[in-house]
């Protein structure tokens, strides 16, 4: 049986896992760690505390990547003092950490939706243009055919009346 990790280490893991999930799905992380995805979900939600052995493996597998993401991402951890849970021995204030969602994530989601919508509209416009061009070509062919038919009709009428056409 593995030794349980400290509450602080578990909180840090949950923050880092939330950051990592911006790039990977739960099952992909679980696969890389060679664990069942339901166990990872339990660790993430706090239903089941991860042991130190698991956390060591997690950070060995993803630690460098998480640190790189923290440097690149507009990632913020907000720390708030929690007076109800101050450390009775040291007198140090307890700290609650949580990830503050950044506006960029919302903008990225909005841009992806708009991009998808624009792509669909662009494809529809391309199709409408193709149909219009086909219709224009068909109209042009019919117009040419009408002109030739009219010319033949005029020639026939003139020939019938004994007149000649000068071309």
What's the per-residue H, E or C state across 1-33? CCCECCHHHHHHHHHHHHHHCCCCCHHHHHHHH
pTM: 0.46
**Helix-helix angle 37-45:26-33, to 10 degrees:** 110
pLDDT beyond 60 at 154? yes
Phi, psi of 91 (to 5 degrees): 80, 0
Mean pLDDT of the region 51-69: 91
| Separation CA 54–CA 30 (nearest Å) | 11
Which pLDDT score, from 0 to 100, does residue 112 have? Answer: 76
pLDDT cut 90: percent of the chain above it: 17
- Whether 55 and 5 have beta carbons less than 8 Å apart is answered as yes
Return the structure tokens found at 125.
């416009």
Phi, psi of 126 (to 5 degrees): -60, -45
| E strand spans, the chain | 77-82, 94-99
Query: In b/e form, how buried is each residue of 63-78, taking b as 16+ CB within 10 angstroms?
Result: eeebeebeeeeebeee
- Whether 12 and 57 have beta carbons less than 8 Å apart is answered as no
Calculate the dihedral angle through the C-alpha atoms of 45, 16, 100, 24, rounding to the nearest 10 degrees. -80
C-alpha closest to that of 19 among 67, 79, 78:
67
Which pLDDT score, from 0 to 100, does residue 133 have? Answer: 87
Mean pLDDT of the region 130-138: 87
Tokens 């049986």, residue? 1
C-alpha closest to that of 10 among 43, 58, 53:
43
pLDDT beyond 70 at 114? yes
- Between 144 and 112, the more confident residue is 144
């Amino acid at each position: 049986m593995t030794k349980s990790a400290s509450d602080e280490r578990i909180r840090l893991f949950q923050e880092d896992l939330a950051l990592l999930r911006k790039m990977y799905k739960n099952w992909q992380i679980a696969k890389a760690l060679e664990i069942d995805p339901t166990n990872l979900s339990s660790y993430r939600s706090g239903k089941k505390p991860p042991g130190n052995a698991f956390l060591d493996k997690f950070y060995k597998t993803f630690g460098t990547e998480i640190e790189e993401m923290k440097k690149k991402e507009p990632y913020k951890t907000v720390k708030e003092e929690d007076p109800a849970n101050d450390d009775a021995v040291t007198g140090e204030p307890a700290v609650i950490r949580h990830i503050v969602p950044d506006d960029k994530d919302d903008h990225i989601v909005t841009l992806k939706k708009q991009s998808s919508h624009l792509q669909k509209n662009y494809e529809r416009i391309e199709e409408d243009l193709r149909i219009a061009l086909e219709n224009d070509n068909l109209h042009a062919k019919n117009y040419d055919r009408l002109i030739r038919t009219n010319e033949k009709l005029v020639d026939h009428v003139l020939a019938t009346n004994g007149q000649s056409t000068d071309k």
